[in-house]
Amino acid sequence: MAVSDYIPVIGLEIHSELLTNSKVFCTCSAEFGGEKNTRCCPVCSGLPGTLPVINRRAVEFAIKAGYALGCGINKFSVWDRKNYFYPDLPKAYQISELNLPICLAGEVPIEYEENGEKKSKVIRINHIHLEEDAGKLVHDDLNGVSLCDYNRCGVPLVEIVTEPDMRSPEEARVLVETIALLLQYAGVSDCKMEEGSIRADVNISLMRKGDTKFGTRAEIKNVNSLKSIYRTIEYEIKRQAQILDRGGEIVQETRRFDANKGETKSMRSKEDAHDYKYFPDPDIKQVNLRDEDLERLRAELPEMPRERTAKYIGFGIPEKEAKIIVSDKVISDFFEDALKTYDNPKSLVNFINGEILRRINLGEIDKTAPRYSPAEVAKLVQMSDTEKVSKNDAKEIFREMAEKGGDPEEIAKARGMLIVTDTGKVLEVIDQVIASNEKAVGQYVGGDVKVFGFLMGQCSKALRGAATPKVIKEELEKKLKSLCD
Amino acid sequence: MELEMVKYLSKLAKLSYTDEELEQAVKDMTSIIEIMDTIKDIDVTYDPYKDNHNVYLEDLREDVAQPSLPTDKLLQNAVNQDNCFVVPKVVE
Amino acid sequence: MTEKTVKQLRELLDRKEISAPELTKEYLKRIETVDKSLESFITVTADKALAAAEKAQERINRGETAPLTGIPLAIKDNICTEGVKTTCASRMLENFVPPYNATVMEKLDAQDAVMLGKTSLDEFAMGGSTQTSAFAKTRNPYDISRVPGGSSGGSAAAVGGDLCAASLGSDTGGSIRQPASFCGVTGIKPTYGRVSRYGLVAFASSFDQIGPIARSAEDCGIILNAISGSDPHDGTSSRNAVPDFNEKIGKGMKGVKIAVVKEFFAEGVDDEVRNSVMAAIDTYKAMGAEIVEASMPSLKYAIAAYYLIASAEASSNLSRYDGIKYGHRSDIVGSYNDLIIASRSEGFGDEVKRRILLGNYALSSGYYDAYYGKAMGLRQKIREEYADIFTKCDLIITPTAPTVAYGVNENIDDPKKMYQADFCTVTVNIASLPAISTPCGYDSKGMPIGMSIVGRMWDEASLIAAADAFEKQFSRIPAKL
């Protein structure tokens, strides 16, 4: 049987770190990185006698994440302990939520292309809960030990649990991308895959076409890039199809994706007893949410991608271009700021999607810490539009802004790119050119208008930076016409 | 309580027993479970909503980061290397 | 000198009749002579105590005295003390030195109280005899062939034997009240949430409370005044205003309604204990209190509910002891799994292991609803029954323990018998209520008998006032050690 005879059934558990200042149950900094074990205290390192004290903003961010993903909110939320032993979990339990999670069911629409065809679908969210992250292990092969760094222990996470609604690797990839964008817009997570601030567990099973019952699933833990999510699913579809083709059975188990080999493999030894023994954490009082709290949090949500896209299309920006801008919150925010200086959306979008994104994609610019401000770029685009600099020079000026920073007008001046229209000078130069090119002028007057280009060139050369081509052309035409009369 | 159950629980709890200890543990646990089983007579269920301590958002801790513990103090009771806690190499 | 109350010592110190260092030395001397046989301390911190006493004296000299300035106290060894070993009487934490202080220690330090040392307990506070301590199997100051009770046996014996002015204990199912009763002293378990648990090594998080053990109810109030209050490090600590716990002392018992809940006096309670507690109730009646009868039908399930919930929580709380971050680390060579299994198996004693197994059982899938879930339901039912009783009365009086202190070799090998002996105390923890145990008599062999006075949540002041009123009618017979 071919792989295409099976329908993959995919559900995701997406973990995303929340952008709080402090950790979820203690006051250590929740920032990414830091020297090993320098962002730890008795609480997050699980010292005897310590107690978790829940961070208000973490709860608020989880609620906002819920709203961003169209979820209902539980007005009475209970934290539970999930008990298991692992060296990255110093308390030997993770504080999580089982029965009364903070966010209830929701829906996330996704759009993608398949064989050049536009598709859209709605993926259901089962719930979202707030929990704590675990630490990091570094393996020292030489000494045969693993080193535990607890800096990440206790960083707040939301776990977004989807229904098994996806049917292809692409749908799964696009969902994660879409959710990451929504969380970024909601301002609750930066969703940096490379820093592990968003990761997914992938649940996947296969069923034969025509079947209605799902097959046995495997869970692939901790897949940490969009590409890996796609490849994991691709690999699992093949692996499970092969087993089913042989008449074998899929083992319900936890697997790990090896990005180097592009394979998944079984993770935990079978002899180990597994039971998380969830129970309500007696150290944390249940949290009640009032309608007014929820209304306030919902009102605090900024403009979301869908609203922004619609707004941009309303500006007259083509849908495709609008979506490019919106698909990156940093860029979209930049655009919004630039508009405050120069209210010409079309022109700004052209410059951003053309010049700025090109250089970002080339790796020339760190978009999160550019040397230029939105106002400076807006000014540059405006200068180009009003022909204070030429289109080509505008690109050159931007290159310098990106490399060294600086005001576009100052750069243009310093590099002699600024066009100052001095009509007196223009007329003076035209008179000189006409005087010293009698032959050509004669030809023009005689009806050979082709020589206009030559004369124009002579004027432009002498007027570089002092006038726009448009002005030179107008004045020259006027002068020559007067000679014809 | 059955021997198998005690063995299973000890696995969950990360405890090991010699055969002799295991035999004693089965005896002790059987006797203890007898007391626990008295609750089988009564029909009650837990209602999480009754355990409401009226905690609201404003009662929760404000999100302000404070200095952490110096690393040497964090590690003072542990076998450590390179400012980290050390365990035998974990293979997933 | 060492037999005086905190209140008396305060006056002597403030009148400069004795200096804080002199007082501390008196206690250290007594510890040195008596504690070899009593074994109430695991660690004596003589140097730190003297340094603290010097500092306290400077404060007294400045006239900035707080109620506990210069008062020598003993601290149960499951309360974290920065720089001083905190063992929980377990091999597991034999060399554990906390890098931080419990909130109660910070509060005592703020008053310049003097810590004499760390007292013994049942391993991880699990037990009622202090005989499961890995380091100091404390004896009873009234008869050193008997147990001091537990788990705060060291703290109670140190007070009963005049080895400290007062002490801190912790109470999860009776661990302050029962040893106070066995050692002829007064101990109060505050309302859950009254005293911060931050730095108290957790046994059962939803029951644990720190509280004082002292030679009088008023002393208990003085210490409770010092250690109570909301704590940003403990989300379960209450923000309720903290009153002066001694404010109701001397207001009399007239019109106070005291309930006698018949189930607490039923089978299993020794006659001498029952008679002594009933006589105390008569004393209250004579003082003008009104006695009412009440019933708690669910008491017969309380032991099971308590042990299931406490062990479930303990099994999770004690999972962090793996020998990696702190505590006993086995010498075994092997995998991570081998290492933590060996460390835990070597580090924990038998009773702790039994509770861990029971807790795992109560929480494991397939058994959760029948055990843990049901126990949590019973907890709510017991709370409701208490609420109902308190519509008819202000206080409830019960025996603290069904017997007086027993011999060191009795009971402790029979977990079932040991657990059942807690039926008088556990419901108070189940319902988060405050209760005080205070001596109300002596049996024919001269062993102390204690009664417990239980009150409404947050009403410790009424318990202290009632215990104080009885104390004034009662002649306490000190231990002769």
Name subunits touching B (3+ CB pairs < 8 A).
Answer: A, C
Alpha carbons C441 and C447: distance in angstroms, whole number = 8
Instruction: State the Cα–Cα distance between residues A62 and A130, nearest whole angstrom.
Output: 6
**Yes or no, beta carbons of C199 and A148 under 8 Å apart:** no
One-letter amino acid for residue A74 of the chain: N
CA angle C71, C76, C80 (to 5 degrees): 95
Pairwise CA distance, residues C115 & C49, whole Å = 6
CA distance B7 to chain A (A): 10
Please tell me the distance from the alpha carbon of residue A383 to that of residue A390, in angstroms, as a whole number: 9
More confident residue, A481 or C209: C209
Helix (H) or strand (E) holding C73: strand C72-76
- The CB density around residue C47, as the number of other CB atoms within 10 Å, is 8
Q: pLDDT for A24-80, tens place per residue? A: 999 999 999 899 999 999 999 999 999 999 999 999 999 999 999 999 999 999 999
With 90 as the cut, is the pLDDT of residue A422 above it?
A: no
CA distances, B49 to each of A59, A77, C352 (Å): 19, 10, 32
In a domain, B21, yes or no: yes
Rounded-to-integer distance, Cα C205 and Cα C314, Å: 8
Range of the domain at B28: 3-39
Q: Which residues of C are known to be catalytic? A: 76, 151, 175
pLDDT interval class at A272 (50, 70, 90):
low
Inter-residue contact A194 to A229 (CB < 8 Å):
no
**Sheet (strand A254-258) strand order:** A106-114, A117-132, A156-162, A6-17, A198-208, A218-223, A254-258, A263-266
CA C359 – CA A485 distance, rounded (Å): 109
Closest partner residue to C375 (CB to CB) among B5, B39, B78 is: B39
Above 90 in pLDDT, residue A482? no
Please check whether residue B54 lies inside any domain of the structure: no
Residue B90 in domain: no
| Those residues with Cβ within 8 angstroms of residue A78's Cβ, 6 or more apart along the chain or in another chain | A97, A99, A100, A280, A286, B48
**Three-state SS at A58:** helix
B19 located within any domain: yes
| Containing structural domain, residue C36 | 6-251+464-471
Taking the C-alpha atoms of residue C298 and residue C427, their distance in angstroms, rounded to an integer, is 10
Q: Which residue of C has its CA nearest to A85?
A: C319
Rounded CA separation A46/C155 (Å): 27
Q: Chain C partners of A271 at a C-beta cutoff of 8 Å? A: none
Residue C359 placed within a domain: no
Q: Is residue B48 assigned to a domain?
A: no
Q: C233 lies in a domain?
A: yes
> Cα(C369)–Cα(C378) distance, rounded to whole angstroms?
12
In a domain, C142, yes or no: yes
Per-residue pLDDT at A1: 60
Domain assignment of residue C291, yes or no: no
Residue C403 lies in a domain: no
pLDDT, position A460: 84
Instruction: Give the CATH number, domain containing residue C158.
Output: 3.90.1300.10
Q: CA of B11, closest CA in chain A: separation in Å?
A: 6
Query: Is it the case that residue A352 has pLDDT exceeding 60?
Result: yes
Q: With a CB-CB cutoff of 8 Å, which residues 130-149 of chain A face chain C?
A: 146, 148
Distance CA A37, CA A19 (A): 20
The verdict on residue B13 lying in a domain is yes
Which residues of chain B have a CB within 8 Å of the CB of C415? 28, 31-32
Which of B56, B86, B47 is closest to A280 using CA atoms? B47
Whether B40 and C419 lie within 8 Å, measured CB to CB = no
Whether B17 is covered by a domain: the verdict is yes
Q: Which of A5-14, A208-217, B27-36, C203-212 is least confident?
A: A208-217
Identify all chain C residues contacting A51, using CB atoms and an 8 Å cutoff: 197-198, 202, 233-236
pLDDT band at B25 (very low <50, low <70, confident <90, very high): very high
User: Which residue of C320, C380, C432 is the best one to mutate when testing the A interface, meaning the one whose CB has the most A CBs within 10 A?
Assistant: C320
Chain B residue nearest residue C336, CA to CA: B88
**How many residues are there in chain A?**
485
Token reading at C231 = 């704590």
Tally the domains of chain C: 1
- Judging contacts by C-beta atoms under 8 Å, the chain C residues touching residue A54 are 235
User: Of the ranges A96-105, A405-414, C12-21, C355-364, which one carries the lowest mean pLDDT score?
Assistant: A405-414
Best to test chain A binding among C200, C318, C325, C379 (most A CBs inside 10 Å): C325
Q: What is the pLDDT of residue A42?
A: 98
- pLDDT band at A374; cut points 50, 70, 90: very high
pLDDT lower than 50: segments of chain C: none
Whether the model pTM is above 0.90: yes
Angle between helix A169-186 and A56-68 (nearest 10): 130
Task: Give A32's DSSP letter.
Answer: S
Q: Is the residue at B32 inside a domain?
A: yes
Name the helix (H) or strand (E) containing A202. strand A198-208
* 3-class DSSP assignment, residue B80: strand
Establish if C175 belongs to a structural domain: yes
Number of domains in chain B: 1
Residue C356 near residue C311 (C-beta atoms within 8 A): yes
Nearest Cβ partner of A36 from B11, B64, B84? B84
Structure tokens at A481: 């016409």
Q: Is B45 on the interface with A (CB under 8 A)?
A: no
Distance CA A292, CA C92 (A): 49
| Nearest CA among A385, A362, A360, A355 for reference residue A370 | A360
Q: C-alpha distances in angstroms, A290 versus A68, A294, A461, B57, C318?
A: 19, 6, 73, 9, 36
Task: Please judge whether C336 and B90 are an interchain contact, meaning their C-beta atoms are less than 8 angstroms apart.
Answer: yes
Judge whether C64 lies within some domain: yes
The sheet with strand A287-288 has its strands ordered as A76-77, A287-288, B55-56
Residues of C within 8 A of A43 (CB-CB) are: 233
- Give the end-to-end CA distance of chain C in Å, rounded to a whole number: 15
Contacts of C322 in chain B (CB under 8 A): 14
User: Would the pLDDT of A2 be above 90?
Assistant: no
Sign of the Cα torsion B66, B71, B75, B80 reads: positive
Determine how many CB atoms are found less than 10 A away from the CB of residue C271.
Answer: 8
- Cα A47 to Cα A37: distance, rounded to the nearest angstrom: 14
pLDDT in tens, B32-85: 999 999 999 899 999 999 989 999 999 999 999 999 999 999 999 999 999 999
Contact criterion met (CB < 8 Å) for B44 and C381: yes
Predicted pLDDT of residue A212: 86
Domain CATH number, residue B8 = 1.10.20
The DSSP output letter for C211 is: E
Q: Which of residues 62-91 of B touch C (CB under 8 A)?
A: 69, 73-74, 76-79, 85-90
Cα separations in angstroms, A349 against A356, A381, B60, C433: 10, 10, 43, 67
Residue A277 at interface with chain C, using a CB cutoff of 8 Å: yes
CB A134 within 8 A of CB A149: no
Reduce the DSSP state of residue B50 to 3 states and report it: helix
Render pLDDT for A297-323 as a digit per residue (tens, 0 to 9).
999 999 999 999 999 999 999 999 999
Whether chain A has a CB inside 8 Å of the CB on B64: the answer is yes
- Distance in Å, alpha carbon of C213 to nearest chain A alpha carbon: 21
